[in-house]
Structure 1
């Protein structure tokens, strides 16, 4: 993904739903140009607010879909903003379960504009379940019961604290 980033928050109603954007802003804030929120969004990261066109003019290169929701789907009313980002010259990236490239309007805009659409949740191999066998090295397991716990965020905070 090319920086700087425009963090897309959609119209989420609570901070835990914007944990991806919050994490990118906290841990890689030097790469963030601004946030973009739809009407009704209750989350504000306290950074500049820009439309995709404004962000592109300011030098942003990629709009990151920085939210999660139950089911990991992309609401239909978000698609126009994602298409707009591509049309304004931004690449588009997300790590949700629903793939951006599978949404016809986004795929058409990708093909028409030549911009990159990055689905970051595409494993290139199968992962086998843990066996419990002893391994070398030290590990710290972060676990949770749902998509809003913030296991990766916790791991990054622990790593920073240990350093």
Structure 2
């Protein structure tokens, strides 16, 4: 997706909470200047900072009629199954009738809907499905520059903050004058960064090849932070996790998790694997392609107090023997140090 500046109104009707509305949250966090308002009639009178802890005074409004200056409607949720709520169809049609583009990261492509296509053509609007792709290449791993350090975020579960960790680390490295690149592999990351590949919507045979193409396209940078997807231990999403891991062949990994979560996302009957077990699993599986170690842990501590987060941080640090931090609460410095140390070690080899 191109990075030209848009003026967005984001649709989160009835679903304005950090997990389901993670697309809205991340766009508000990293591209706040593009957001005019969020549509959610259940939150009218509040700001996004009050409800989602990002976005400052960006308002919630009840409908498109209350927005001014927006040229695009963005679907702000990433629900399980990736389908557009039926009640939202009329809002999408209203936006198209106003000549507004509609941007969606759902698995259900709006451009496959005849009614939406007809409305877009009639009113000179665009349907932008971020997950659409034509990846058909297999991996062969030729011509890769080993001068570019590849760091990959992996997870205990999905929806734990792998994308946010990569963006925060990328921005921190840039502040140090390092030529760094955030490599987006999901719809929200693509919306934030302006490029990337929706790995979870690539045909399974071509996932590794698509990941490899992302690496090849960005190997001119000094460091790339490659967004992770799902988890090797998630019964639904492990296939995309494995394909991405083998395709990007990271030099090092950051293991991400959410404090207090005990079961797999969307599957409460399935308990989470321990961080230690997953650390060993990721290192073993990654090592089938290239030796790689977990060099740090990124904790998502949004649901606990600062004191509880600090105790958890010390516990995990003692258990795994690597730096641990919440990149939002504590800042990314501990993980940045681990990345720099790994880079120096590889140079010496």
TM-score by length of 2: 0.41
Q: CA deviation at 1:4?
A: 0.8
Asked if the contact 2:93/2:116 (under 8 Å) is kept, the reply is: yes
Residues 74-89 of structure 1: pairs in structure 2 closer than 5 A? 74-89=84-99
Runs of 5+ consecutive residues of structure 2 not aligned to the other structure: 50-57, 176-349
Q: RMSD of the alignment, in Å?
A: 2.8
* Structure 2 equivalent of residue 161 of structure 1: 172
Instruction: Select the residue among 66, 70, 77 that pairs with 1:60.
Output: 70
Deviations 1:78-129 (A, max 9, x none): 1111111111231100111110112233222212212111011112323546
Provide structure 1 residue ranges, at least 5 long, that are not aligned to the other structure: none
Partner residue, 2:134: 124
Instruction: Name the SS of the counterpart of 2:119 in structure 1.
Output: helix
| Structure showing greater relative contact order (alpha-carbon pairs closer than 8 Å, 6 or more residues apart) | 1
Q: Are the equivalent residues in 2 in contact too, given 1:2–1:62 (CA < 8 A)?
A: no
- Are 2:47 and 2:60, in contact at CA under 8 Å, matched by a contact in 1? no
CA distance in 2, matches of 1:93, 1:13: 18
Query: Helix, strand or coil: the match of 2:153?
Result: coil
What's the TM-score, normalizing by structure 1?
Answer: 0.82
State the secondary structure of the residue aligned to 2:84. coil
Task: Identify the range of structure 1 (31-40 vs 15-24) with the bigger mean alpha-carbon deviation.
Answer: 31-40
Q: In 1, Cα distance between the equivalents of 2:140 and 2:25?
A: 30
CA distance in structure 1 between the aligned counterparts of 2:78 and 2:17, rounded to whole angstroms: 11
